[in-house]
Structure 1
Amino acid sequence: MSPEQNAPADPRDLDLALRLADLADAITLPRFRASDLRVTRKPDRTPVTDADTAAEDAIRAALGHERPQDPILGEERGGDVEVRGRGWVVDPIDGTKNFSRGVPAWATLIALVVDGVPTVGVVSAPALHRRWWGSAGAGAWARDLPSGTPRRIAVSGVESVGDAYVSTTDTDTFRSEPGPVGRDGWLALTEACWESRAFGDFWQHVLVAEGVIDVAVEPVANPWDLAAPAAVVAEAGGRLTDLAGHPTYAGGHALTSNGLLHDGVLEVLGG
């Protein structure tokens, strides 16, 4: 994804997305580490909490009032976003496993997608006291919560894979899940790069946008995991594609980079 693909976003849509993030934070943060937090399992064995459903329901209600014509795709309540036109893609809590275990690395992800391209993205991580956002034509930004000063962010200038800092979510996923990149490809990349970590989920993608790390590899991901980070990364000057190099947030997997490293990383992953 690159900013050149997108016409400038309407600033009113970014304002709405930021207000939706405020709404979600007010619901999720009080439930984080709550003694009565209710956790159940979905059919795919991933956890869902009462905070997930409450946050998504609140976001949907607000969008229904302010953008009644826009479809919504959310992790907990489903839906669909057409290839043409506008739609919102929402993950009320990305990193629910962390949330349910008391690990503060989780966030609400809110994106506006226009004609298949994320044009507005907000990633709000209140337990980390951090928020990131990007809007087509207006750059990528971050600030500390609750009231820090916004700071424009940009990807790193690292040009060599051998100097790159790379992250994933769970290294075992390369072995246990079918996909275009297996365990051998991931190990080859970690050996080729300077340093590897597992920051995971949304966090690694926005860290790429901030220039803190250079590459993030996600072997399994849903559209709601990637739409908002894709907008932030693009406006920060980076790229998000699937692991075959196609510029999509809906390919089932993802590679995020500073752009300079993208083709070289794909080559290493592909063997």
Structure 2
Amino acid sequence: MMLINDKTSAELISVAHEMADAARAAILPFFRTTSLNTENKLDDGFDPVTVADRAAEEAMREVLTKRRPQDGVLGEEFGAQEGTSGLTWVLDPIDGTRGFISGTPTWGVLIAASDETGPVLGVVDQPYIGERFFGGFGIAERSGPHGAMPLKTKDTSELFDAILFTTFPEVGTPDERAAFERVSENAQLTRYGMDCYAYALVAAGQVDLVIEAGLNAYDIQGPIGVIQAAGGVVTDWEGNPAHEGGRVLAAANAEIHAKALEILRKS
């Protein structure tokens, strides 16, 4: 694990917020506009990308070039760039592009600064609402329409009291969907389609569980940083670190995590 002093941590926090601000400014002119052009990145299926995705990542990379050129970068749209500092910024300029092109405010900008063990800070930013979730270096806070307030996850201990989210009803493979549905059958409420915003709601103490499969590193590292800072737990479906993506279980606390994990492991 990389050792980060107070001066460096303050700089990283400042850079993360500057990148989120830059991404907001790049994205918002395109949101809910009739002229937005969408491209499909897949020959078989639908994985949309827009000019807003690319503009936001370019804006964040410009901030890093100016302020932290020694760091590596991994972004969804422009790939990996090696650094020399031991830190890598992991960027998803618009997580939830399907929601973005549909006009829903559930997409977000994801930012993480990570070392070899995973995120040391994370940001989930929703530009249209003006809501930002930040976690790292002893800080867990949300800012937005209601002002600034601390983030703290729920203390729900029983699955029958839990609120569960996932983005796609199909979740992943048929086996992965079956595993998700076993957890869902034991939960109080299951909801769909929130993309990264569901993870932010775990950190905010609104949601107990998010279960997904087929994620990339840039889909999950920002949320990991925020949720862990707020007191939650994020692993894969075997209880291992999830910062490389794959099958992810995000939970409000260790107790509810253990109960959901026991069911998922039966897949």
Question: Shared fold by TM > 0.5?
Answer: yes
Q: Is the 8 A contact 1:6 1:117 kept in 2?
A: no
Using a 3 Å threshold, how does the CA distance of structure 1 residues 68 and 227 change in structure 2: closer, same or farther?
Answer: same
CA distance in 2, matches of 1:81, 1:201: 28
Aligned residues: 261
Q: Show the counterpart of 1:233.
A: 227
Q: Show the counterpart of 2:167.
A: 169
CA distance in 2, matches of 1:15, 1:7: 14
Q: Show the counterpart of 2:257.
A: 262
Q: Show the counterpart of 2:141.
A: 141
CA shift, 1:248, in A, is: 2.5
Q: Is the 8 A contact 2:15 2:63 kept in 1?
A: no
**C-alpha distance after superposition, 1:122-144 (max 9, x if no partner):** 111022331101112x2211011
Amino acid at match of 2:131: R
CA RMSD of aligned residues (A): 2.2
Using a 3 Å threshold, how does the CA distance of structure 1 residues 248 and 101 change in structure 2: closer, same or farther?
Answer: same
Unaligned runs of 5+ in 2: none
CA shift, 1:6, in A, is: 8.2
Alignment of 1:18-167 (within 5 A): 18-43=17-42, 45-79=46-80, 85-136=86-137, 138-144=138-144, 149-167=147-165
SS for the counterpart of 1:27 is: helix
Instruction: Give the TM-score taking structure 2 as reference length.
Output: 0.91
Larger displacement relative to structure 2 (243-252 or 220-229): 243-252
The higher relative CO (CA closer than 8 Å, separation ≥ 6) is in 1
Amino acid at match of 1:263: A
CA distance in 2, matches of 1:8, 1:183: 43
CA distance in 1, matches of 2:194, 2:256: 19
CA shift, 1:81, in A, is: 6.5
CA shift, 1:230, in A, is: 0.4
**C-alpha distance after superposition, 1:139-175 (max 9, x if no partner):** 2110115xx5311010001011121111111121334
CA distance in 2, matches of 1:123, 1:55: 14
Q: Is the 8 A contact 1:123 1:133 kept in 2?
A: yes
CA distance in 2, matches of 1:158, 1:81: 41
CA distance in 2, matches of 1:140, 1:199: 25
2:246 paired residue among 236, 249, 252:
252
Amino acid at match of 1:264: K
State yes or no: 1:243 paired with 2:237.
yes
**C-alpha distance after superposition, 1:51-98 (max 9, x if no partner):** 00011011111101111111100000010568x921100000000001
Percent of aligned positions that are identical:
34
Amino acid at match of 1:261: I
Q: Show the counterpart of 1:193.
A: 187
Q: Is the 8 A contact 1:201 1:225 kept in 2?
A: no
SS for the counterpart of 1:128 is: coil
CA shift, 1:117, in A, is: 1.8
Q: Show the counterpart of 1:14.
A: 13
CA distance in 1, matches of 2:35, 2:80: 29
1:217 paired residue among 211, 216, 227:
211
CA distance in 1, matches of 2:5, 2:219: 23
Q: Is the 8 A contact 2:168 2:193 kept in 1?
A: no
CA shift, 1:268, in A, is: 1.2
Using a 3 Å threshold, how does the CA distance of structure 1 residues 123 and 100 change in structure 2: closer, same or farther?
Answer: same
**C-alpha distance after superposition, 1:187-245 (max 9, x if no partner):** 11111111111143211111111110100001121111111110000100001111221
